[in-house]
């Protein structure tokens, strides 16, 4: 058996008629950028997400820095996040011109550790960007308390966690804005690049709408801006897919339970931790190898046995090869848990179209490796 890491084409085939219809509708409309399909999809996103505003932009990275820029965060300012995330979280801070401050992650969830935030706050700190890593919300209750106390903005990076919830909070309730990505490997993915920003703040909505379109709100009137728009064909694809997101998340959760049940007796591996009461949508099912020096051995064993396991992410951002040219751009505090996460993580195949048999085969291979390692 061959277990793939992604199921993009399976997903397309499952709802092909719905997607093809939407694409056809856009093609026939003759309006492909800032057209009626984008407007319609923005309305659907507002309704689904429960936010006053939803703005389609070019990609998830842009969504983050456009939000920072709309809030006036830039050169001279500091923004707190954690280093065991996808590179783009930090990149967006750099694009906005601010300095990134890395604090450690929670050793269980791998999301930012709220207890580490306060000691990193200086008089230059303007914002916190918690990442809802692997499909689980960061502890927004604790984070928003700190933000309120120190008058900081909070932008949630939910690129990996559309449809996730906390125990007593929804995304967007305890922050200034929520940035998401629609690239295909995300839980809601289009057929190219795409992203969106959700907010209840009319000033962010108005500013980002202008910034994404060359600083223009009215024809022939411009202030300086950028070109970062979600095009109408992608909006059409996403409009078709949005109707399925809850059922797809439920399926991911079901498959995650299957993994967790099948792997419950392993000796050399720690299974994903779900915060009590949270809806973790398992963008990724990430296990940790207890002895991190054996991580690559598990990865190789799985790959050699046709299970396409990967790592998310095996190099923390401040250890990336390109990092020296960011000199002065980042402040790195003690980040032991984040570094250990990078050294020990293995992501098992996880997507809604994965079959039970494929999950069982992957489980069996992990168990074989576990047994061979005592
Ligand atoms: C994918 C991702 C992004 C960036 O999204 P793009 O659409 O690729 O720009 C940002 N943050 C996180 C955590 C991501 O996983």
What pLDDT digit, counting tens, does each position of 294-317 carry? Answer: 999 999 999 999 999 999 999 999
Gap from CA of 160 to ligand 1 centroid (Å):
8
Q: Whose alpha carbon is nearest atom 1 of ligand 1? A: 159
| Residues near ligand 1 (Cβ within 6 A) | 59-61, 85-86, 88-89, 131, 157, 159-160, 181, 183, 193, 195
Gap from CA of 108 to ligand 1 centroid (Å):
22
Q: Is the pTM of this model over 0.85?
A: yes
Residues 145-153: contacts with CB within 8 Å, 24+ apart? Answer: 146/114, 146/117, 146/118, 146/121, 150/118, 150/121, 150/125, 152/121, 152/125, 152/126, 152/127, 152/128, 153/71, 153/73, 153/126, 153/127, 153/128
Share of the chain above pLDDT 90, in %: 95
Question: Ligand 1 pocket check: which of 86, 110, 185, 317 to mutate, most ligand atoms within 8 Å of Cβ?
Answer: 86
Q: What is the pLDDT of residues 147-183, one digit of tens each?
A: 999 999 999 999 999 999 999 999 999 999 999 999 9
Would you say residue 325 has pLDDT above 70? Answer: no
Do 73 and 127 form a contact (C-beta atoms < 8 A)? Answer: yes
pLDDT for the residue 328? 78
Do 52 and 185 form a contact (C-beta atoms < 8 A)? Answer: no
Q: Which residues in the chain are classed under CATH 3.90.1150.10?
A: 245-372
Question: Ligand 1 pocket check: which of 79, 85, 159 to mutate, most ligand atoms within 8 Å of Cβ?
Answer: 159
Gap from CA of 192 to ligand 1 centroid (Å):
13
Confirm or reject CATH 3.40.640.10 for domain 8-242, answering yes or no.
yes
Q: Whose alpha carbon is nearest atom 8 of ligand 1? A: 60
Q: What is the pLDDT of residues 25-80, one digit of tens each?
A: 999 999 999 999 999 999 999 999 999 999 999 999 999 999 999 999 999 999 99
Helix spans in the chain (H) = 8-14, 16-29, 36-49, 60-70, 88-96, 114-117, 140-150, 202-211, 232-242, 245-262, 295-304, 336-344, 356-372
Confirm or reject CATH 3.90.1150.10 for domain 245-372, answering yes or no.
yes
Gap from CA of 361 to ligand 1 centroid (Å):
30
Q: Which residues in the chain are classed under CATH 3.40.640.10?
A: 8-242
Gap from CA of 131 to ligand 1 centroid (Å):
10
């Amino acid at each position: 058996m061959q277990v793939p890491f992604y199921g993009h084409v399976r997903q397309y085939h499952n709802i092909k008629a719905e997607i093809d219809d939407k694409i056809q509708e856009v093609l026939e409309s003759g309006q492909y950028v800032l057209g009626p399909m984008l407007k319609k999809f923005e309305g659907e996103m507002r309704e689904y997400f429960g936010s006053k505003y939803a703005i389609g932009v070019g990609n998830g990275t842009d969504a983050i820095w456009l939000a920072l820029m709309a809030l006036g965060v830039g050169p001279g300012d500091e923004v707190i996040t954690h280093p065991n995330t996808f590179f783009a979280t930090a990149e967006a801070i750099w694009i906005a011109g601010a300095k990134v401050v890395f604090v450690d992650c929670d050793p269980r969830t791998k999301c930012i550790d709220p207890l580490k935030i306060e000691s990193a706050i200086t008089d230059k700190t303007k914002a916190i960007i918690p990442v809802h890593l692997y499909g689980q919300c960061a502890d927004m209750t604790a984070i928003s308390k700190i933000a309120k106390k120190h008058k900081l903005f909070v932008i949630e990076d939910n690129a990996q966690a559309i449809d996730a919830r906390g125990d007593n909070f929804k995304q967007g309730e305890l922050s200034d804005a929520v940035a998401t990505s629609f690239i295909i490997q995300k839980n809601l993915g289009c057929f190219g690049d795409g992203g969106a920003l959700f907010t209840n703040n009319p000033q962010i909505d108005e500013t980002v709408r202008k910034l994404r379109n060359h600083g223009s709100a009215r024809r022939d009137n411009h202030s300086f801006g950028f070109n970062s728009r979600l095009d109408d064909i992608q909006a059409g694809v996403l409009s078709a897919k949005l109707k399925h997101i809850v059922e797809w998340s439920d399926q991911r959760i079901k498959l995650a339970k299957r993994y967790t049940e099948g792997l419950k007796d392993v000796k050399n591996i720690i299974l994903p931790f779900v915060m009590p009461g949270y809806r973790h949508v398992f963008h990724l099912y990430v296990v940790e190898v207890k002895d991190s020096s054996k991580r690559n051995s598990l990865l190789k064993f799985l790959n050699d046995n046709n299970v396409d396991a990967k790592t998310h992410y095996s190099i923390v951002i401040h250890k990336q090869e390109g990092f020296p040219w960011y000199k002065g751009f980042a402040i790195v505090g003690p980040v032991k848990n984040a570094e250990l996460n990078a050294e020990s993580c293995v992501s098992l195949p996880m997507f809604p179209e994965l079959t039970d048999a494929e999950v069982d085969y992957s489980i069996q291979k992990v168990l074989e490796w576990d047994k061979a390692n005592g």
